[in-house]
Chains A and B, each alone.
Chain A
Amino acid sequence: MLKQCEGSHAIAESVALCRPEVICAYPITPQTHIVEGLGEMVKAGDLKHCEFINVESEFAALSVAIGASAAGARTYTATASQGLLFMAEAVYNAAGLGLPIVMTIGNRAIGAPINIWNDHTDSMSMRDAGWIQLYAETNQEAADLHIQAFRLAEELSMPVMVCVDGFILTHAYERLDIPTQEQVDAYLPPFEPRQVLDPGEPVSIGAMVGPEAFMEVRYLAHHKQMRALELIPQLSAEFRQVFGRDSGGLMRTYRAEDAKTIVVALGSVNGTIKDVIDELRDEGYAIGAATILSFRPFPSEELHELLSHAKRLVVIEKSLAVGIGGIVSHNLRMALSGISLHAYTVVAGLGGRPITKASLRSLFERALRDELEPLTFLDLNQPAIDRELAREKERRRSGPSAENILRDLASGGPR
């Protein structure tokens, strides 16, 4: 049914349609509306056969999810940013134990400095923990991916993170199609665990594994994600059959067939990128885009094929690996083996800095002229940076740089 509603609300409704049995969450911006929505549904009796537990920390949230999932319940939670880090130990634990928990990440920057706005630092920090990571481009996709996520998680016995840009998607009202219960039931069968805590058939879950077998256990986790590379497109195709639209998959291209320059990005910024691509195409430039939907497993083969005929690659990323550069770019490097092209990394939108069409347009034009540095920080306020560097040079006790820059900008320093 078509609805005009907030992204968070659509996610809550989609999760509810998946018949979750245990939901536990700790509030953190910008995921709050999702769990509030689900909590309301449970309390009102609209979402039945579901235990909604208010926990005392994110670490507790994922731990409760671990217990519930191990006991055979379909389990869901959501977090972001600081919360994801606070549960980091449990994130690795859930993956290591092979529990099919589905978790929404309302992508948000990680402090210090504390920042509630969108970027991908949080989910990127957990990219190697063994969870599948899917990034939604639109709110429709965000809602749909949760349905696919439960299916994927349970078929592989592996937890899945659905990443949704905080505020930009979570708090945006959009036109969406919320599926029916029948459609979801046709797509997502009841949870049948591979391992379960059952007094009828006792097992010990979570034993120590020594040097004799640790490598094998870890290899199996990797192998599972390699299987996911096949399963994800299959589930997306099946989704299309049942629900009638394209959603999910490993990646999606836009006007990339004959493109010599390809722009790659994750998440909602792809919408703006597509608008710019259209403008440049109208002016005759052979430029196209690719949205990476599954970041883990990383679709190396698909990207390799896409980029094999390109001359130029521009990676727009909302994450920064301090000390080396882009995260997505470095993951892409592996896929570029054997391909020679100009590769440009653009770190943009950190901490919610808007990525504007105008900025992207000017950026792409520079890329097309090969006038970009290998690493660019989009829309950086260089004068403000220079002034802070000067302050640091002048005095040992130059003060917290964040405060200094804020004061600088507030006093209307020259831009």
Chain B
Amino acid sequence: MYQVRIHGRGGQGVVSAAEMLSVAAFLEDKHAQAFPSFGSERMGAPVMAFCRIDSKEIRLREPVMSPDALIIQDPTLLHQVDLFSGVTTEGLILINSTRTFGALGIGEFVEGFHPDLLCTVPATELALKHVGRPLPNAALLGGFAAVCDQVKLESVIAAIREKFSGKVAEGNVAAAREAFDIVMKEREEASHA
């Protein structure tokens, strides 16, 4: 079973991200469970959503305590909330940012992690470019498909098209594709370094 935890703020589509990820896994004939963790609902408050992926029925009903992967939609949470609880050095971390892990102040924290599993992608910028709205979730999932072998980009794209329609869907798809490419390149560079 593969466990993903997504962090962000209310209004950034964190819950939708988890749902789309689960749909992507479903489209690959896997079992997936996605659910939110609610605090008081308001725009801007820290929120978490979870997604589990497995080849068989998922019976476990608890928040993801030991994530295999972390997706951080809002880096301003980095030094405010304990985002990394339960993460091991085997973990995958994808951050919505133009800055490096070092510049974000967590360079030391990720020492010992696999460098090709530590990625950043400017998802908000991509969303603004392709969709015109600063909602980074779809783009992030595109990036996620590049670093995580649980879902393929095509599945993510199909999931995006299920959740959104028309121009917004295509814009998100374009953002996801570009994010995928960016992360693939980043990983290549990291493994050559």
Contacts and interface: CB of A to CB of B under 8 A. Distances in A.
A141 interface: no
The 7 A-B pairs at the shortest CB distance, nearest first, are namely A271-B59, A4-B26, A172-B35, A173-B34, A173-B22, A356-B62, A4-B23
* Most chain B beta-carbon contacts within 10 A, residue among A2, A175, A268, A357: A175
A358 B26 contact: no
Interface in A258-276: 268-272, 274-275
A272 B59 contact: yes
B27 to A, nearest CB: 8
Interface of A is mostly: mixed
A116 B35 CA distance: 16
A174 interface: yes
A363 to B, nearest CB: 14
Given A171-B35, A172-B33, A358-B65, A275 B60 contact: yes
Given A272-B61, A272-B62, A275-B60, A175 B31 contact: yes
A275 B23 CA distance: 24
A279 B34 CA distance: 24
B47 interface: no
Given A172-B34, A275-B60, A6 B19 contact: yes
B38 interface: yes
- Chain B CB within 10 Å, residue with most, of A4, A268, A269: A4
A171 B48 CA distance: 13
A357 B62 contact: yes
B10 interface: no
Contacts of A172: 33-35
A179 to B, nearest CB: 18
B121 interface: no
12 contacts: A4-B32, A117-B38, A167-B38, A168-B35, A172-B34, A174-B33, A271-B61, A274-B59, A275-B59, A354-B63, A357-B62, A358-B65
B65 A173 contact: no
Interface string B52-65: 00000011111101
Contacts of B26: 2, 4, 175
Nearest to B50: A172
A142 to B, nearest CB: 13
Contacts of B31: 175
Nearest to B31: A175
- Which bucket holds chain A's interface residue count? 20 to 34
Contacts of B60: 271-272, 275, 357
A328 B158 CA distance: 45
Given A271-B60, A272-B59, A275-B60, A175 B36 contact: no
A116 B38 contact: yes
Interface string A331-371: 00000000000000000000000111110000000000000
Interface string A145-184: 0000000000000000000000110011111000000000
A49 to B, nearest CB: 29
Nearest to B27: A4
B61 A173 contact: no
Interface of A: 2, 4, 6, 116-117, 167-168, 171-175, 268-272, 274-275, 354-358
B188 to A, nearest CB: 32
A167 B22 CA distance: 16
Nearest to B25: A4
Contacts of A171: 35-36
Interface string B27-45: 1000111111010000000
Given A117-B38, A167-B36, 17 more contacts: A4-B32, A6-B19, A116-B38, A167-B35, A167-B38, A173-B18, A173-B35, A174-B32, A174-B33, A174-B58, A175-B31, A271-B59, A272-B59, A272-B60, A275-B59, A356-B65, A357-B62
A254 B187 CA distance: 45
Contacts of B62: 272, 354-357
A4 to B, nearest CB: 4
A355 B22 CA distance: 22
Nearest to B35: A172
- Residue of B32, B60, B61 with highest tally of chain A CB at under 10 A: B61
Nearest to A176: B26
A140 B98 CA distance: 42
A410 B32 CA distance: 34
